[in-house]
Structure 1
């Protein structure tokens, strides 16, 4: 792959030998919309004012690692962090959300259909699988819980669904199970079909399953299509969730001590990070937390409710988005560390793109609107735990945070790094029709981080 005329592989320094990490689980926190790297993890205080904005970088618990002044809690946990500042799409994306989701969730560059359809491009069954689905495939089945869980919502539903979240060509067996949460009742997560209705006990459910199995066996003679197999898979997952007491216990946030819930803070995104910790504690291999937007911010920030701050970027970050992220994420890192789980849990913070370093999005009033447009050419990623050495920065960007400079990497490197952290070397698989294929040929793990 080329990047500004240079082969990307030659721009990444050779990795030194390192002890092999084997993380038990991973938590991915996705800042939906595209977080502003220049206002958070890759600040440029010496850049012209029309780039650097109004925020100041401050020292943290990690010498040499400076973060935004509006991340005070995370600053105290920076000794756990590795900040990858040189991530870009290297002109392989479309500049919009669907392609950014797909590339960063799967590690595969968007194909021509993304360039043709942009945000009208829906998920295809032939898509590359998400990182979560690859981990679900490669790890032994959990006895009570799914191998991959996504919360507090399916990104993009109900209007449309962002590509890249699914198992796609691996088959629905490896799709993440989606768990719903709301801003109104942040402690009450709804697992599909988890609550038994009326007087239906687990034992009676088993009897009904036997009857349903006999009926389905007859139907299979008439229709053995892929759609029918998918339906049967969903059905089996629902029965597993319904009949497991351990499943219900894992989602009970009220079982957490009040002091722990208070440490994470209130709200759906804080509750989601706390639930992610409970799920990896219960042995779930991959948990994705897709940031739940706030409808009020849609008007204030022209953002759709999340991190897509086309307007009023600085006030929306300072007053709403950064505080809502800072406290629970710092609490998650400290909580995992205090419980002795951080070494065995890889934590990743990412999103579909960065934000335009030059202030002023023409769609929200230009400079006066104080917004930042999409910027897939450059973004930052945070990594912690899972064998990652904390307190470091990998890669640099130019003086205005517009493009990667030293050690440029692409999403395939991040995906490979996740698989490496989890001890996944075998990237062979079979598709929905039983045909063998390779899950990933491009990129390499950033072993320098470990």
Structure 2
């Protein structure tokens, strides 16, 4: 079994959730073509509904550990001190909407942003719910695909030199393709595929063509003895791998030295946001990234004083750049964690897990901006009205990309499965 490790997050239960990728049971090297090949036994399921071939993209920002809704987008200045915490709200450029004082850049451009303040989550340290629409306890058996893998599946015949799904934060259960098969796992720049993005030393484009012709000759022989149709799928993904190497588009998108140094300086410390922008510009359909650690059972405010300004700079620069490049309606961005934090501050100046309500930031994609959707009670304990499920928000993001969340794909047992079961859109975002 090959195991590729990525970034690690240690949460309050003492377990370390390390992003990982496990492929195969062979000790051989894994090439880019191998990463792009379909898992033929499980990727053969066909959808019974076809989605729009929209070329819109999504950027999914995950805040691991559960960010405090009360200290970011849902402050309660009139609540008792043990609830409201240390931070003060500031007025945005949209009347009636306030955010944390550590979000000054977002406050000045709130007409381009939106927060959803009445999302109900589950008590679970996992990105599975926000990335797939199903909690981890369900996904361990049902194996639902994540958002980016669905985008990859829907657009699998589109071609191009850029992978549809890219994860800048490695691999976890929440970024897995589930029953859609290995072909729809994300490309991870820190993983094995990155080493194959350039030609090997001494190998020219001409020599690559010679090797490809030799491979074709071997494939002709293998094709004669293959009665399963597997070779047809392998051919397509090998061609994709070769195109990625020779075109160099992905390599260039990941190389920030090719960006204006003044722009790179604006993103200093939050470079993943810039890389995400460059990838969607290059043609990626979904890019996911993460920043910080948000499991703040102790010293919540001390941690957030350091992390919130970083998030503010990353989000503000990303959304501003997308607008400046005319991409605002073509890229939808969502930022959230697995749940909120307890309204009452604990004895360690921290906030504990709180699933009854959390917030999310949404931007772009042609959705309605400049508002706050939903509300929590006066102490931020639960939705005041209009509780919204995570799948409903995720389904709205799917629709922004032109993907129908009621479409079905066959799972490993051949059973048609909806992309999302709870999929009614959030009307305030689309009306």
Which TM-score band (shorter chain)? Answer: 0.7 to 0.9
What displacement does 1:414 show?
1.2
Name the counterpart of 1:166. 176
Q: Deviations over 1:367-411 (max 9, x none)?
A: 1x2122222221101111111222101111112112122110111
Q: Cα deviations across residues 22-80 of structure 1 (Å, max 9, x unaligned)?
A: 67111111112211111000111111211111000110112111000011111112111
Counterpart for residue 428 of structure 1: 408
My pick for the range that moved more, 197-206 or 404-413, is 197-206
> Contact 1:107–1:414 (CA<8 Å) still a contact in 2?
no
Runs of 5+ unmatched residues, structure 1:
1-19, 115-122, 156-161, 182-188, 294-305, 361-366
Q: 1:132 aligns with which of 126, 137, 148?
A: 148
- Displacement after TM superposition at 1:207 (Å): 3.2
1:390 aligned onto 2:369: yes
Residue 234 of structure 1 deviates from its aligned partner by 7.6
How far 1:236 sits from its partner (Å)? 6.2
Return closer, same or farther for 1:105/1:175 CA change in 2, 3 Å cut-off: same
RMSD: 3.0
Paired with 1:383 and 1:68, the residues of 2 have a C-alpha distance of 16
Identify which of 299, 308, 315 aligns with 1:322. Answer: 308
Please list the CA deviations of residues 253-307 of structure 1 after superposition, one character each: whole Å capped at 9, or x if unmatched: 212112222222x12xx2111111111112221111122x4xxxxxxxxxxxx12
Question: Which among 418, 421, 425 is matched to residue 438 of structure 1?
Answer: 418
Q: 2:72 aligned with 1:40, yes or no? A: yes
How many residue pairs get matched? 375
Moved over 6 A (4+): 222-226, 228-236
Q: Which of the numbers 320, 326, 329 marks the counterpart of 1:334?
A: 320
1:166-193 CA-to-partner distances (Å, cap 9, x unmatched) read: 1110112222211229xxxxxxx98242
Cα distance in 2 between the residues matched to 1:379 and 1:233: 43
Residue in structure 2 matched with residue 345 of structure 1 by the alignment: 331
In the alignment, the residues of structure 2 paired with residue 428 and residue 434 of structure 1 have an alpha-carbon distance, to the nearest angstrom, of: 11
**SS of 2:362's equivalent?**
strand
| CA distance in 2 between partners of 1:222 and 1:138 (Å) | 27
Shift of 1:208: 2.9
In the TM superposition, residue 251 of structure 1 has moved relative to its aligned partner by 2.1
**1:172–1:233 Cα contact (<8 Å) kept:** no
Using the alignment, how far apart are the partners of 1:317 and 1:70 within structure 2? 9
CA distance in 2, matches of 1:445, 1:194: 39
1:219 positional shift: 9.9
**Cα deviation, residue 424, structure 1:** 1.4
1:378 is aligned, of 357, 377, 380, to: 357
Structure number with the higher strand fraction is: 2
- More displaced, 198-207 or 337-346? 198-207
Give me the whole-angstrom Cα distance separating, in 2, the residues matched to 1:196 and 1:73. 42
Q: Do 1:172 and 1:230's aligned partners in 2 also have CA atoms closer than 8 Å?
A: no
Q: Summarize the alignment of residues 228-247 of structure 1 with structure 2, pairs less than 5 Å apart.
A: 238-247=241-250
Shift of residue 230, structure 1, vs aligned partner: 10
Q: Does 1:85 align with 2:117?
A: yes
Look up the match of 1:106: 132
> Residues 62-119 of structure 1: CA distance to partner in whole angstroms, max 9, x if unpaired?
2111000011111112111111000012xxx3x2313xx111111124445x7xxxxx
Q: What SS class does the counterpart of residue 401 from structure 1 fall into? A: coil
Deviations 1:312-344 (A, max 9, x none): 1101111x2112111121011111111111022
Residue 428 of structure 1: CA displacement?
2.1
Per-residue CA deviation, residues 186-232 of structure 1 (Å, 9 max, x unaligned), is xxx98242133211223323433444455576499699799x99999
| Correspondent of 1:59 among 75, 80, 91 | 91
TM-score when normalising by structure 2: 0.79
| Match for residue 97 of structure 1 among 112, 119, 125 | 125
Give yes or no for the alignment of 1:144 onto 2:124: no
- 1:85 is paired with a residue whose SS is strand
Residue pairs, 1:208-227, within 5 angstroms: 208-212=211-215, 218=222
Partner of 2:300: 313
SS in 2 for 1:83: strand
CA distance in 2, matches of 1:128, 1:192: 29
What residue number does 1:177 align with? 187
In structure 1, the residue matched to 2:57 is 25
Task: Give the conservation status (yes or no) of the 8 Å contact 2:102–2:309.
Answer: yes
Task: Give the deviation of 1:243 after TM superposition.
Answer: 2.7
